[in-house]
Structure 1
Amino acid sequence: MEQNLSLYRIFFEVAQTGNISRAAKNLYISQPAISKAISKLEDNLHLPLFIRNSRGVQLTEEGAILFEHVRAAFEMLDHGEDELKRMMELGVGHIRIGVSTVLCKYVLLPCLKEFVARYPHVKFTIHCQSTLQTLELLEKQQIDLGLTAEPSHKKNIIFDKVTDIEDGFIATPAYLTNMRLREGALQSDVFKNGTVLMLEKGNVSRTYIEDYFREQHVEPNHLLEVSTMDLIIDFARIGLGAGCVIKNFVREEIKNGTFVEIPLTPPIPKRSIGFVYNSQSSHSKALNMFIKYYRHFYQNA
C-alpha cells in the first residue's frame, strides 16, 4: 500500500482530468512517467483502470469504483492538513489535566476561565481525582498536566511551583462554645474532646497532616473521615466538628467570623503546589501556550 500512494495520486489526477497530457502538466511530470505509473498500478491490482481513446482516457467500471475510494481518502488527507493548519493559526489543541476537586475549584478554575476566554479553540479534559491517581496517569502519559502538592518522588516528573498553601483546623464559634460547655471548661482541647473532620486515609493531604501529628504527639480521639475538602468545609460550617482544611481557601470566612482558626504550636509547615508533567512527554503548541500563560497568571495573582 505504501508504495502505491504516489501511484494513487497520479491515478486520481488522470481520472479527474480525463487526459494524460493535462495530468502530466498539473503534476509537473512527463507523460511517459504518467503512463508508466498507471500501467504499474493496473499491474499491481490486476485490473484495467482506464480505457484509452483518441480524446483521452475514461475510467473502467473497476476504475470508477477505485476512484470513489481514492477521492474519499484524499479528501480526508486534505481535511487533516486543514485541521493542522487551523490548530497552528488559532491555537487549537486538546489539554488533559488531572487535579483534585479542591485545587480545581480554588486554584485551577480562575486561571482556566481567563485562558479559555482568550483561547476558546483549545479543548480541555479535566480529571478530578487524588494526587496519587494524577501522578499515575502522568506516568502512563494519559494526561498532559497535573495540579498537585509537590510530590515527594519526582522520577520523570517536572514540578512547576505556582503557590504555597497552609493547612490548618477551623470550626464555627458555636461549635467551640458548645464543646467547652459540654466539657465544663473555659478551654477545651479540640483534638481530645471534639470531632475532627479529615480526608480519608491514603490522601496526600491526610498523610501530610498525620506526619505532623506524629511529630507533635497529637492523636485525635474522634475522627470523621470525609471524601473531599469541600465536604469538610460544609460539615464544619454546620457545626459537625473541627475541619482540617487548606486555610488559603477559607480566609474570607475566617476573616468574617464564620470560622475560627484552631491555634497550633508550631503551625503546620506550608506546602508548595504546582503543575506537574512527565519529562519524557512531548508538548503540543496548545500545552506550551497554557504553561506560559499559567506561569504569568500565578506570578501576578
Structure 2
Amino acid sequence: MLDDKSLKILKTINIYKNISKAADKLYTAQPNLSRLLKKIEKNFGYDIFNRSTSPMTLTKEGEILFEYINKFEKLENDMYEKINNLSNYNKIRIGALTFMTQYIIPDIIPEFIRKFPSLDLTLKKYSSISFENALLNNEIDLFITNREIKNKNLKSKYILDDPIYLMYPKSENVKNKTNLSDFKDETFYLLKPWKNLRKSVEEIFKDNDLKPKNTEIVSSIMNGVSLTKAKKGVTFIYGTSKSMIGSTDVCDFIEIKENYARITIVYKNPDLENLINELGDILKTYIISILK
C-alpha cells in the first residue's frame, strides 16, 4: 500500500522521467531520491521504472501500477464529489402520487431521515400527468411513481415491479371464474384514463384481448375497492395496496402475471444520485415486506 509520500515520489518521477529533475521538484538530493525509490520498489517486489532509458520509462509492472493509481484517484475524487454535492442539499422536495403519499411514503420517511438527519424533507402530491413539469421546473427534486417514463430530459431509477391484481367479490356466480376473460360480463370499476393504474389496465385488456361489456369510472382505487366489496362489480389494485384495503374475507384476487407497473424514482439533477440510491434501497426493502 502506498502512503502519500511514496505516491508523490512516484508521480513526480513519472512526470519528469528523470531522477535529478524530480529531486529538484521535491526539494531533495538526487542520491536520497534514488534511495527512496529503491525502497519503494523493494516493498513492491519489482522495478517500477526503467533506469536504462533516457528519459526514464515505466516497466510493464510500473504501467499496471500507475493504471490502478489513476483508477483509485478517480474513485476517490468521485466519492468526495458525491459527498460534497450531497452536502449542498439540505432540503429535499419529494413528489409522489396520492396513493403513495397516503400509504407508502409515510412508512419509509423515518428510515430515510435516520440516514440523512440533516435533510429538511417536503412531501407533495402530484398527478401522473403533472409531475414531469414539476421536476423540469424545479418545483420538486424527485418523484416516486409506478410507471416508466420516456422523457429524455429526466433520469430514473427502477426499484422493482408492483404486481397488479383483479379484485372480485366472493359469490356463487364467480366462484368458478379463474381467468380475466371469465369476467367480461362483470362491471369493471376503473380509474380515469390518465391515471397510472388505468393506463396499465388498458395494456392488460389489450394483451388479453378483453373488452368488458360495462365499465364505470371511480375517482380512487379505494372507491373501486369499496364497490367491489359491496358486490357491485370488479376492480384492479396494485400489490402494494392489497395489504392496506382491510378485510378480504368477501373478496378474492387474480394476479396478473406480466409486469405492468414498475416503481421508479424520477429526477433531473444527477448530483442526487447517491441520495436516490439510498432512498431506493429503503423503498425496495419496504415494498418487498408488504408484498409478502
For residues 225 and 216 of structure 1, do their structure 2 counterparts lie closer, same or farther at Cα, with a shift above 3 Å needed? Answer: same
Corresponding residue for residue 103 of structure 1:
100
Tell me the alpha carbon deviations over residues 217-251 of structure 1, each in whole angstroms, 9 at most, x when there is no partner: 21112212122223323333333321111123215
Corresponding residue for residue 224 of structure 1:
216
Corresponding residue for residue 294 of structure 1:
279
For residues 186 and 271 of structure 1, do their structure 2 counterparts lie closer, same or farther at Cα, with a shift above 3 Å needed? Answer: closer
Does the 8 Å CA contact 1:199/1:205 hold for their aligned counterparts? yes
Counterpart residue type for residue 113 of structure 1: P
Unpaired runs of at least 5, structure 1: 1-86
Counterpart residue type for residue 223 of structure 2: L
Is it true that 1:275 corresponds to 2:265 in the alignment? yes
For residues 289 and 113 of structure 1, do their structure 2 counterparts lie closer, same or farther at Cα, with a shift above 3 Å needed? Answer: farther
Corresponding residue for residue 158 of structure 2:
161
Task: Work out the CA distance in 2 between the residues paired with 1:186 and 1:115.
Answer: 45
Task: Work out the CA distance in 2 between the residues paired with 1:131 and 1:202.
Answer: 7
Aligned counterpart in structure 2 of residue 203 of structure 1, from 195, 200, 216: 195
Aligned counterpart in structure 1 of residue 148 of structure 2, from 148, 151, 172: 151
Corresponding residue for residue 228 of structure 2:
236
For residues 154 and 92 of structure 1, do their structure 2 counterparts lie closer, same or farther at Cα, with a shift above 3 Å needed? Answer: closer
- Quick check: which has more Rg, 1 or 2? 1
Tell me the alpha carbon deviations over residues 239-293 of structure 1, each in whole angstroms, 9 at most, x when there is no partner: 33211111232157699644301466xx343432121101xx364xxx5674243
Q: Return the TM-score normalized by structure 2.
A: 0.57
Task: Work out the CA distance in 2 between the residues paired with 1:115 and 1:153.
Answer: 27
Task: Work out the CA distance in 1 between the residues paired with 2:104 and 2:150.
Answer: 23
Does the 8 Å CA contact 2:190/2:224 hold for their aligned counterparts? yes
Q: Return the TM-score normalized by structure 1.
A: 0.56
Task: Work out the CA distance in 2 between the residues paired with 1:236 and 1:148.
Answer: 25
Matches within 5 A, 1:183-194: 191-194=183-186
Does the 8 Å CA contact 1:191/1:218 hold for their aligned counterparts? no
Higher helix share: 1
Corresponding residue for residue 93 of structure 1:
90
For residues 290 and 232 of structure 1, do their structure 2 counterparts lie closer, same or farther at Cα, with a shift above 3 Å needed? Answer: farther
Q: CA deviation at 1:208?
A: 2.1
Task: Work out the CA distance in 1 between the residues paired with 2:236 and 2:102.
Answer: 17
Task: Work out the CA distance in 1 between the residues paired with 2:89 and 2:154.
Answer: 26
3-state SS of 1:269 partner:
coil
Task: Work out the CA distance in 2 between the residues paired with 1:272 and 1:294.
Answer: 16
Does the 8 Å CA contact 2:162/2:259 hold for their aligned counterparts? no
Does the 8 Å CA contact 1:161/1:274 hold for their aligned counterparts? yes
Is it true that 1:213 corresponds to 2:210 in the alignment? no
For residues 93 and 263 of structure 1, do their structure 2 counterparts lie closer, same or farther at Cα, with a shift above 3 Å needed? Answer: closer
3-state SS of 1:200 partner:
coil
Counterpart residue type for residue 276 of structure 2: I
- Aligned-pair identity in percent equals 18
CA RMSD after TM alignment: 3.3
Task: Work out the CA distance in 2 between the residues paired with 1:110 and 1:233.
Answer: 22
